Amino acid sequence: MITLHSSLGPNPRLARMFMIEKGLEEGRDFARVHYDIITGQNRQDASYMARNPQGTTPTLELEDGICLTESWPICEYVEELHPSPNLFGETPVERATVRKWARLFDQEVVVPMTMGFRAGAGRPMFEPRMSVVSMEAGAELSAMADEKWRLFDGYLGASDNIALGRFTFADLLIFAFANFGFTVGWKLPEGTDNLARFVATHNQRPCAAVWQDTE
């Protein structure tokens, strides 16, 4: 059985939610090992560091021991093995479209949002493990991320799907990082009613339950 090495946080939860969306069941289709990233268990565990030298979660360990890392490629791997329901697009144009929106969101929101968090509220946890920008730079990055959240509110408009007019990986990515924000005290920027509706809609999906979990 494949094993998802997982923890709190948006990236492992993105992979978990993706597997749930594919109808994969924990215990039946994949095993899950939880790491306490607050205390840094992931980085203190030599066997985990051997699986993923970056020390981050998630890692998907295949039956032959191959370890796949980085949440997005893990999701693409799962998509190839379980093509239905389709979450990355059926055609080359659809796939390029889903990846475009995911890439835009990843670069424009995820990067400044996570760097801002690590420099601010997340500083005690992250400073001992990686380079963290100054508090001032972190505040600027958080503001920059909020500005981009507002852009995404406009891109969504009246739709609850950022691409293809149906639920895709790009929606899951946006949904995961909104929920991550909520878990660390962030709020949707003022005036982002489309995003508020988007979150409320996707909160009805079974995969959203991972955000109620303590692991």
Ligand X SMILES: N[C@@H](CCC(=O)N[C@@H](CS)C(=O)NCC(=O)O)C(=O)O
Q: Which residue has the CB atom at the shortest distance from ligand X?
A: 9
Q: Which of 16, 51, 71, 95 binds ligand X (CB under 6 A)?
A: 71
Pairing of strands 59-61, 67-69: antiparallel
6: contact with ligand X by CB under 6 A: no
Region 106-165 residues binding ligand X, contact defined as CB under 6 A:
129
- Can you name the residues that pair with 33 across neighbouring β-strands? 5
Question: Given the rule CB under 6 A, which of 20-28, 67-75, 148-156, 168-176 is the region that contacts ligand X?
Answer: 67-75
Distances (CA, A) of 181 to 43, 82, 145: 23, 29, 11
For the CA atoms of 202, 203, 205, 210, the dihedral, rounded to the nearest 10 degrees, stands at 120
Distance from C-alpha of 161 to C-alpha of 89, rounded to nearest angstrom: 13
CB atoms within 10 A of CB 104: 16
192: contact with ligand X by CB under 6 A: no
Please identify, using beta-carbon distances, which residue of 53 and 191 lies nearer to ligand X: 53
Distance from C-alpha of 24 to C-alpha of 29, rounded to nearest angstrom: 6
Minimum CB separation of residue 204 from ligand X in Å reads: 24
Please identify, using beta-carbon distances, which residue of 184 and 200 lies nearer to ligand X: 184
Q: Which of 37, 119, 173, 195 binds ligand X (CB under 6 A)?
A: 37
CB atoms within 10 A of CB 165: 9
42: contact with ligand X by CB under 6 A: yes
Question: Given the rule CB under 6 A, which of 35-43, 76-84, 97-105, 183-191 is the region that contacts ligand X?
Answer: 35-43
CA 68 distance to own-chain centroid: 16
Please identify, using beta-carbon distances, which residue of 11 and 168 lies nearer to ligand X: 11
59: contact with ligand X by CB under 6 A: no
10: contact with ligand X by CB under 6 A: yes
Distance from C-alpha of 178 to C-alpha of 10, rounded to nearest angstrom: 9
Minimum CB separation of residue 103 from ligand X in Å reads: 13
Q: Which of 6, 56, 97, 179 binds ligand X (CB under 6 A)?
A: 56
11: contact with ligand X by CB under 6 A: yes
Length of the chain (residues) = 215
**112 φψ region: left (φ > 0), alpha (ψ -120 to 50), beta (else):** alpha
Tokens 């109620």 found at: 212
55: contact with ligand X by CB under 6 A: yes
Provide the binding-site residues for ligand X, judged by CB under 6 A.
Answer: 7, 9-12, 37, 40, 42-43, 55-58, 70-72, 129
